[in-house]
């Protein structure tokens, strides 16, 4: 079944010679029912501009447009895809703008009108780098209301992990401090062409208007990076370089000096960051 009058994605790939390039992390979604489903998981976008990173042959882009996104601005690094995307833009007049280039270098904000959501199926390394940037803007709330992002399942689990689990670490703290993060769809390798080696998952993050607990962003990042860098050590040892009074700061945050990083929930990490910041 097709969601628009454009050719099926397999045909688009053949016509435009879009043989997948490993160097660009190209694992395409060819099932337009699935891309429409992912588009719906990002929410009702009829009143939103959507920033899409890495549209490739346009599967998710078509899903977003067919499901009614007000506008889509898409950044694609592979120049081979631009002609295929121009055909999508033609089928949805005035609703798709494609920017050719590297999403890590381009600032698309001048091209977008709030409210803005982000949706992407990206190579995993670029996805994690962009996620960290989107979660650490100079000001909060950020430019986006929500992020709907495909990740390697293991990375999705790190983003949504609870204290005490193996996956819990910096990414969980960063994501959950100022956003609600949940896995909304699991996908097997066969959902992609070519299939990657690992399973994938879509994570949906909604920006909270305020951080869940007060803390200085830089201090919280510094504390969690230091704590999880040596995650098997007791916090008294792994954090001793942060302050000569580290035991007092740990006590102020209700943390035992013998606790390990993965036992500490977000609330107590924020209390620790506040205590250290106040002593500066
Ligand atoms: N969205 C398409 C889909 O779901 O079928 C393609 C997904 S494919 C996993 C990743 C896409 O991101 C490719 O089209 C690739 O060329 C593009 N890409 C890779 N690195 C990029 C970057 N740094 N900036 C923008 N696009 C990038």
Quick one: CA torsion of 266, 134, 214, 254, rounded to 10 degrees? 20
- State yes or no: pLDDT of 278 exceeds 90: yes
Going by CA atoms, what residue is nearest to atom 5 of ligand 1?
Answer: 28
pLDDT in tens, 73-105: 999 999 999 999 999 999 999 999 999 999 999
How many whole angstroms separate alpha carbon 3 and alpha carbon 245? Answer: 62
Confidence of residue 215 (pLDDT cuts 50, 70, 90): very high
- State yes or no: pLDDT of 131 exceeds 80: yes
Residue identified by tokens 């337009």 is 32
CB of 177 shorter than 6 A to ligand 1? no
Neighbouring residues of 217: CB distance < 8 A, sequence distance ≥ 6: 136, 140
Q: Which atom of ligand 1 is nearest to the CA of 56?
A: 14
> What do you get for the CA distance between the two ends of the chain, in Å?
61
CB of 24 shorter than 6 A to ligand 1? yes
Q: Which residue would you say has higher pLDDT here, 115 or 231? A: 115
How many helical (H) and strand (E) elements, i.e. helices and strands, does the chain have?
Answer: 11, 9
Tokens representing residue 97 in the block: 């703008």
Rounded to the nearest whole angstrom, what is the distance from the C-alpha of residue 118 to the centroid of ligand 1?
A: 14
Rounded to the nearest whole angstrom, what is the distance from the C-alpha of residue 78 to the centroid of ligand 1?
A: 8
Over pLDDT 70: what percentage of the chain? 99
Contact between 26 and 1 (Cβ < 8 Å): no
Confidence of residue 3 (pLDDT cuts 50, 70, 90): confident
Rounded to the nearest whole angstrom, what is the distance from the C-alpha of residue 107 to the centroid of ligand 1?
A: 17
Nearest in space to 23 (alpha carbons), one of 85, 80, 64, 73: 80
- State yes or no: pLDDT of 123 exceeds 90: no
- State yes or no: pLDDT of 1 exceeds 70: no
- For ligand 1, pick from 19, 20, 41, 54 the residue to mutate: most ligand atoms within 8 Å of CB: 54
């Amino acid at each position: 079944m097709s969601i628009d009058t454009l050719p099926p994605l397999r045909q688009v790939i053949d016509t435009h010679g879009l043989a997948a390039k490993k160097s660009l992390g190209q694992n395409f979604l060819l099932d337009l029912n699935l891309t429409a489903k992912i588009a719906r998981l990002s929410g009702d976008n009829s009143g939103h501009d959507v920033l899409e990173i890495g549209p490739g042959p346009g599967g998710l882009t078509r899903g977003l447009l067919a499901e009614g996104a007000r506008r889509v601005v898409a950044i694609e690094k592979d120049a081979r895809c631009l002609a295929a995307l121009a055909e999508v833009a033609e089928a949805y007049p005035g609703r798709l703008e494609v920017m050719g280039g590297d999403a890590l270098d381009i600032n698309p904000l001048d091209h977008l009108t709030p409210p803005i959501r982000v949706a992407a199926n990206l190579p995993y390394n670029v996805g994690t780098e962009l996620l960290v940037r989107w979660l650490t803007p100079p000001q909060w709330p950020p430019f986006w209301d929500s992020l709907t992002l495909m990740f390697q399942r293991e990375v999705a689990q790190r983003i949504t992990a609870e204290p005490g689990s193996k996956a819990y670490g910096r990414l969980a703290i960063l994501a959950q401090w100022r956003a609600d993060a949940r896995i909304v769809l699991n996908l097997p390798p066969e959902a992609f062409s070519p299939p990657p080696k690992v399973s994938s998952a879509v994570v949906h993050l909604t920006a909270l208007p305020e951080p869940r607990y007060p803390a200085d962003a830089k201090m919280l990042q510094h504390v969690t990076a230091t704590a999880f860098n040596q995650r098997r050590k007791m916090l008294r040892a792994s954090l001793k370089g942060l302050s000569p009074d580290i035991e007092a700061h740990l006590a102020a945050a209700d943390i035992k000096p013998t606790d390990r990083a993965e036992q500490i929930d977000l609330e107590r990490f924020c209390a620790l960051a506040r205590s250290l910041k106040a002593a500066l």
